[in-house]
Structure 1
Amino acid sequence: MPHSSLLPEPGARRSFWIGIGWMALSMASFIGMSIGSREMAATLSIRQVLFFRALVGLFVIAVFIRGLWPELRQMRQFRLHLLRNIVHFTGQYFWTIGVVLLPLASVFALEFTMPIWVAFFAWAILGERLTRARLLATVGGFFGVLVIVRPGIGIVDPAAGLVLVAAMAYGLSLVLVKQLTRQNSPGAIVAWMILIQLPLGLAAALTDWRPVQAASVPWMLLAGIGALSAHYCMAQALRRLDASVVMPVDFLRVPLAALAGYSIYGEVIDVWVFLGAAIILGANLQAMRAERRR
C-alpha cells in the first residue's frame, strides 16, 4: 500500500491543472494577438496597430479603474513607469514588424531569447549575480538563434534582428517591472501601461495614419483583448506553477504558432526553427535547474 505522503495532495493536483489551463489560455491569447496584429497591418500602419491595441486595452481597464484610482493618483515611481513603457512600446513596435514579415513560429522562437536578456539586465540594474550557468545559457541561446536565422545560407531577414531587439526590450521591461512591484500592485502596473502607451501610440500613429475600415474592428478587438489576456493568464499560471514548469509548457507556443501559420497563411513549417527554439529552451532550462540547486 503506497504511503500517502508520497502522493501529491488533491489540492496540489488541482492547482497544477488549473495552472496548466491558464497557460493554455495564455498561449492562445499570444497567438490571437499576433494574428489580430497581422490582419490589422494588412490595411493599417504598424503604428496604428499599436495605438488601436492600446485603445482596446483602455476600454478593458476602464471597468476596473475605480478600484485602482486611489493607487494611481499617488503616481508612485511614475518616472520608472514612464521609462518601462517607452522601452516596452519600442519592443512591441519591433515585435509587430516581425509578426507581419516573418512566419509566426520564427517570431515566437526568437522571442525565447528573452530570459537571457532578463538575466543580463538583472545583473546590470538590480545587481543580481550573473552565474556561470546563466553565461552558458547565453552562449546556448546565441547558438540557437544562429540555427534559426542560419546566416550564410541565403540572405538573413532583417526582421529577425528586429525581433531579437524586441526580446531585449521585453527583457529590460521585465526587470523594470520587478522594480515597480516594490511599490505598485500588478493592476496599477497594467493600468499605467495602457495610460502611457495609448498617447505614445497615438502620437506615432498620426505620423503614418491610414483610413480605418470596419473590417479591421474585429481584429482590433482580438489583438487588444489578446494582449491583456496573455499577460493576465501568464500571471495566473505563475501563481500556481514553478517557472521551471511554465517555460517548457510555454515552449508549445512555437509548434502551435507554426500550426496556426500553416493553417491560416500557408506558411512552411521549418524544422530549423524548432531545432533552434529547442536549443534556446534547453539552455535556459539548464540554467534554471542550476540556479535552483545553488
Structure 2
Amino acid sequence: MSEAGFPIFRFAGLPGAVRGALWLMAANACFSAMAGVVRVVAAEMHPFEIAFFRASFGALLMAPLLLRFGRRSLATTRFPMYLARGAAMVVSTLGWFTAVAHMPIVEVTALTFTSPLFATLGAGLFLREAVGARRWTATLVGFAGAMIVLRPGLVDLSAPAVAAMASAASTAAGLLIVKSLSRTDSPGTIVLYLNLLMVPMSLAPAALVWTPPSLEALVWLAGLGLIANLGHLSFARAMAATEASAIAPVDFCKLFFTAALGYLAFAEVPDALTWVGAAVIFGSSIYAARRESLAGGRGAAPTGAAPSAGPGVST
C-alpha cells in the first residue's frame, strides 16, 4: 500500500491550540501524580524538606541538558525575571506541598484554580492594568467559589487551607513571569533555571525541619523531581504553543485527575460542595480569560487568561 494509505502522525503539524491542549493535559497529569508522591513521602518528612529534595533532584536530572549545551542552556538576558520566578515558585511549592500533605487532594486542586483570579487581581492593583467591571465581577465570583470549598464558619479554616491559597497567589505571579519568559527563552532554559534557583532558595526552610530521609523516601523523591521536570517542560511548551486563553478550559481535567488519584490511592471522596466550588472558580477564571482576550486581543498581557500551573511545583 502506498505511503499515502498510512498518514504519518506529525505532532508539530497539529494546530497550535491542539498542541497546547495536549501539552497542558500532560502537564496536569504530571502535577496530579506529584500530589500523590508528596502525600506518600509526607508520612516520613516535613513538606518543606520534600520541596528541597524536589528541587535538588529536579536540578540533578536537568544536568544532561547543561552538559550537552553548556553555557548556551543558561543563555538569557532576563536573569532578574528568573530570580523573581524562583522566589514565587518556592513560596508556591512550600504552600502546595503543605496543603497536599494535610488536605484532600481534590480540594487543594480546586483552590489552585484561583491562580488566574489572583493574576487578574495583581494585574489590576499592582500592574495598573485596565480591568473592566465584568472581569472584577468574575474575580469576586471566583473567590466566592473558593469560600464554597473552604466553608469558613462551617469548617475551621486550617493552616493547610491558608497555605493552599498562598500557593495559588504565588503561582499567579509565576504564571505571569513564565508566559513572558516563554516568548524569548526555550522551555529547557526556563525549567533549568527554575530548578537551579529553587535549590538554594528552598534549603533554608528545609534546614529548620530536617530529618534524614530513608532510602525508600529518596527513591520517591527522585521520582518526584523527574515528574516535576516533565510537568514544567510540558507546561512551558503549552504556553509557547498557543495563547493561554485558547487552552484554559482544558485545565479543568486536573480536577478529574486528582479526584481519581485521591479516590483510588487514598480513599478520598470529594463532597458535592467541593465540586460546586471548583466549578464556580473555574468558570469564573474562564470568563475572565475570555473578557481579557476580547478586550486586548492576542497582544494582551496574560493575566486571567493563563491556566493554573500547578505547583511551583503550579512545582
TM-score bucket of the superposed structures, by smaller chain: 0.7 to 0.9
- The answer to whether the 8 A contact 2:20-2:242 is kept is yes
- What is the CA deviation profile of residues 81-114 of structure 1, one whole-angstrom value per residue up to 9, with x for unaligned ones? 2232122201110111000011110011000000
User: Is 1:143 aligned to residue 135 of structure 2?
Assistant: no
> Which is worse superposed, 194-203 or 86-95?
194-203
Matches within 5 A, 1:279-294: 279-294=280-295
Amino acid of the structure 2 residue aligned with 1:276: G
Partner of 2:257: 256
Matched residue SS, 1:252? helix
Flag the 1:125–1:23 CA change in 2: closer, same or farther, 3 A. same
Distance 1:122 1:177 in 2: 15
Matches within 5 A, 1:242-253: 242-253=243-254
Q: What are the ranges of 5 or more consecutive residues in structure 2 without an aligned counterpart?
A: 1-9, 296-315
Flag the 1:253–1:232 CA change in 2: closer, same or farther, 3 A. same
Flag the 1:65–1:12 CA change in 2: closer, same or farther, 3 A. closer
Flag the 1:173–1:276 CA change in 2: closer, same or farther, 3 A. same
Flag the 1:64–1:248 CA change in 2: closer, same or farther, 3 A. same
Flag the 1:136–1:12 CA change in 2: closer, same or farther, 3 A. farther
Q: CA deviation at 1:174?
A: 2.3
TM-score (norm 2): 0.81
- The answer to whether the 8 A contact 1:144-1:277 is kept is yes
Partner of 1:70: 72
Q: CA deviation at 1:277?
A: 0.8
Partner of 1:23: 24
Amino acid of the structure 1 residue aligned with 2:72: P
Distance 1:181 1:26 in 2: 16
- What is the CA deviation profile of residues 186-205 of structure 1, one whole-angstrom value per residue up to 9, with x for unaligned ones? 43332221111112223332
Distance 1:194 1:139 in 2: 34
Identity of aligned residues (%): 30
- The answer to whether the 8 A contact 1:68-1:187 is kept is no
- The answer to whether the 8 A contact 2:48-2:209 is kept is yes
- The answer to whether the 8 A contact 2:120-2:139 is kept is no
Amino acid of the structure 1 residue aligned with 2:162: G
Distance 2:127 2:201 in 1: 27
Q: What are the ranges of 5 or more consecutive residues in structure 1 without an aligned counterpart?
A: 1-9
Partner of 1:58: 59
User: Is 1:276 aligned to residue 277 of structure 2?
Assistant: yes
Tell me how large the CA RMSD over aligned residues is. 2.5
Distance 2:287 2:189 in 1: 34
- The answer to whether the 8 A contact 1:258-1:269 is kept is yes
Partner of 1:193: 194
Partner of 1:213: 214
- What is the CA deviation profile of residues 50-91 of structure 1, one whole-angstrom value per residue up to 9, with x for unaligned ones? 11111111122111114251363x673434422321222011
Q: CA deviation at 1:240?
A: 4.2
Distance 2:166 2:201 in 1: 19
- The answer to whether the 8 A contact 1:103-1:258 is kept is no
Flag the 1:23–1:179 CA change in 2: closer, same or farther, 3 A. closer
Distance 1:270 1:232 in 2: 33
Partner of 1:231: 232
Flag the 1:36–1:188 CA change in 2: closer, same or farther, 3 A. same
Matched residue SS, 2:157? coil
Distance 2:11 2:65 in 1: 30
Flag the 1:275–1:245 CA change in 2: closer, same or farther, 3 A. farther
> Which is worse superposed, 184-193 or 80-89?
184-193
- What is the CA deviation profile of residues 194-229 of structure 1, one whole-angstrom value per residue up to 9, with x for unaligned ones? 111112223332222112111113321232112121
Q: CA deviation at 1:22?
A: 2.5
Matches within 5 A, 1:97-246: 97-178=98-179, 180=181, 184-246=185-247
Distance 1:40 1:142 in 2: 31
Q: CA deviation at 1:230?
A: 1.4
Matched residue SS, 2:62? helix
